[in-house]
Structures are given as structure tokens and as C-alpha cells.
Structure 1
Amino acid sequence: MTRYALPLLVALALGACQGGASDPQPAQAPAAQATPPAADKERDADGTATVPELVVQTVDGQRYDLAERRGRWVVVNFWATWCAPCLKEMPELSALDAMREHVEVIGLAYEEIEPETMQAFLRERPVVYPVAIVDVYDPPADFATPRGLPMTYLIAPDGRVVKRYAGPVTAEDLEKAIAAAGGPAHGA
């Protein structure tokens, strides 16, 4: 048993070091913040701006600006490739984005991962919505730092946060929140 335990422990230790927070190289931050948090912005108890700003570069090199999405419902989903509940909700969020003209999803990968690795991951688990990598050491200033994943925000067409979900969310949950906030009901 001891003969097998040492190689197993070494393999586990090496695996834990790859891409972890103790990695000696600084994390790449392809995502860019729009502005530092403004002291005069209205915020909720967790620090999320009532009307958040978000400007990021997606893994396919496109610029994503939340302000340019006014007039649409936007789902801002913080997630990670290692998060099982996140992976479970991805197909449903993708279907919601694809099937509803009034709803758009943006995935914010909240982990230390290289863009090329994320692109390879997305080839295996494709989604129709854009994905950006956010710096875990400098997350978007207008959103509360996620304390768990997934963390999802529903943004109304006027740019205001309507609802926040800590943990997995379904398309049905989002459709109900949109209808409750005065948006179109599912099937309408």
C-alpha cells in the first residue's frame, strides 16, 4: 500500500499546483474593467451597483459592454470550469439566450485560466453566448465579489439589477423573474 501512496500523493500535489492560486506566474486578465467603483454610485448591501457597468473582452476577442445592451434583459453569470452546478446550468442558459430575442447571456469565467484553455473547454462544451475571463484578484467593480459559484444577476432593459441568484439558476427561474419585473412572460 505504501508503494502506491507516495506516487498518488505526488500526483495530487502536482495537480493542485497547476493553475491554482499559488501559481507563481500572475494570472492573465483579458477582461478589462470599465471604471473603478465610484463612491457616488448607488449600491446594494453586498456592494453591487444598482446600475452596474461592465466592459470585458471575450475569449473570442470581442468587446462586450453591458451599457450597449440597454433595451434587452441581460443575464450576467459568474461561473468556472471546475464548478459542477455551473456546468449543469450552461446548456439551459445557452438555450435561453438562443430562444429568447429579449434575453442575452454573458458568462464571466471567475477563475485563473488561460484564454486558449478556455477556448478548448468551450469547444467541448459550446454555448451560444459570449464568455469572458475575469480576474479573480480584481473582479468587475460594479458587482459583488462572488462568494460562491455560480452567481447570476438579472439586469433589466433599463440597466438595473432586478434579481441576484446565489447558486444554480434555471431558464424557468429567469423567465419568471422577467415576467414578475414587467417583462414579457414565457410564450408571450
Structure 2
Amino acid sequence: MKTLYTLFTSMCLLLAVQANGQTYHEQHAECSVAFKNKESLTPGLVADFNECMVGADAPNFIVTTLDGAEIELAKLKGKVVVLNFWSTTCKPCIEEMPALNELVRFYKDANVIFLSLAPENAETLEKFFVRFPFDYTPAADAEKVKSEIFKLQTIVPYSVIIDKEGKIKKMWFGSFPGREHIFSLYTPLIDECLAKR
């Protein structure tokens, strides 16, 4: 079993290297092959899938923020984009928000866009933010972006970092409450993307 897992991991890493220049959906299809006959996805398999997607072109999408602005991912090339797929009913999502807010403030003068994508409608989000402020730019009714465009698992939170060329730098699921965990995960990735010409 360990040999199969090692083989699968090696295959994912190889595909990740080959991902450059591939569309997100082409890469998604290749990275998903190993999951087709699985009855359930373990956290390890999902993590391997996420690694396999590194280097793929991020899929384009358009969302409307709570203040009415339209954001299209393709028009953000040249900026680092940090996506957070979450839900108001997700306790781990809420727990990591204070540290994520600190991250947003840390990069306030940098070429970084922080975008939160929730399945709930605008009214629900506005009420939620009264109690739990979230400094990412929020977009409501974004479930299709997660499930149909990015084709991600139903679990939240799910985070994606996209480099200035529009390629997946890193993606993962799960929360990391606490400033130390958030900063040790995010800042090396964001800084590397910012440094890339």
C-alpha cells in the first residue's frame, strides 16, 4: 500500500511539473485519474491532487463583490490573487478569519488581491460580517465558481494562490487558525509570487 501511495505521489509531482501551459481543466482531468475508482477521498489523496494542480493555468471566472464591483480573474494578471472558498456555517473558516485579516493588512501596499467566495447570498453575508468582519473582498453566490469552474471538493475552507501569470501556485483545504500558522503558510508563497517578474 505504501508503495502505491509513493507511486501516486510521484505521478502527481510529475504531472505538476508538466502542468505549465495546460488549462486548468486539462490538468484537473489528469490529476483526477487516480480518484476515479476510490469510494472516498482521504485527506492525503486530496492533498496530492492539490499538489498535482500546481502550475496549471487558473480557470477564468467573473464574480460581483458586495459593493457591486465586477471582478474577472483574467483581468487580474500581473497581480497575486489569493482565493478563499468558505461558508458562514463553517466554524474553521470563522476561526481563521482574524489571522487572515492580519495577512490582508500586512500586504495592503503590495500587488495582492484577497478574494473570498461564499455560497450564501449578499444579504446573508452582510449580516454575517457585522459579527465577524472579514477583510478579503467578498463575493456572494459563488458556489459555481468552486464546484463547476474550479471543480473542488465540497469541503471548506479551500484556499488557492494564483501567481502574477495566472497560474496555480498552491491550493489546499483546511483552516489554520492563529497568526503564526497563517503567516508561515501564506507569506513565503505570496512573497515568491511577488518576486517573480
Aligned-partner residue type, residue 43 of structure 1 = Q
2:188 pairs with one of 168, 176, 179: 176
- Report the equivalent of 2:18: none
Q: How does 1:1-188 map to 2 (within 5 A)?
A: 42-44=26-28, 45-46=31-32, 50-100=57-107, 101-110=110-119, 113-136=120-143, 138-140=144-146, 141-169=148-176, 170-179=182-191, 181=192, 183-184=194-195
After TM superposition, give the deviation of residue 142 of structure 1 in Å.
3.0
Q: Cα–Cα, structure 1 residues 107 and 182, in superposed 2: closer, same or farther, change >3 Å?
A: closer
Q: Structure 1 stretch 158-167 or stretch 63-72: which is displaced more?
A: 63-72
After TM superposition, the score normalised by the length of structure 1 is 0.65
Tell me how far apart the structure 1 counterparts of residues 96 and 133 of structure 2 sit (CA, whole Å): 12
Give 3-state SS (helix, strand or coil) of 2:98's partner. Answer: helix
Instruction: Determine if contact 1:73/1:156 at 8 Å carries over to the other structure.
Output: yes
1:139–1:145 Cα contact (<8 Å) kept: no
Q: Distance in 2 between matches of 1:98 and 1:57?
A: 22
Tell me, in whole angstroms, the C-alpha distance in 1 between the residues paired with 2:80 and 2:193: 11
Contact 1:78 1:146 in 2 (8 A): no
Instruction: Give the equivalent residue in structure 2 for 1:36.
Output: none
Structure 2: unaligned runs, 5 residues or longer = 1-22, 33-48, 177-181
Alpha-carbon distance, 1:80 to partner? 0.5
Call closer, same or farther: CA 1:156–1:135 in 2, change over 3 Å. Answer: closer
C-alpha contact 2:60 2:73 (8 A) present in aligned 1: yes
**Higher Cα Rg: structure 1 or 2?**
1
Displacement after TM superposition at 1:171 (Å): 3.1
The alignment covers a number of residue pairs equal to: 143
Identity %: 28
The answer for unaligned runs of 5 or more in structure 1 is: 1-38
Look up the equivalent residue of 2:27 and give its one-letter code.
Answer: R
Structure number with higher helix proportion:
2
Equivalent position SS for 2:171: strand
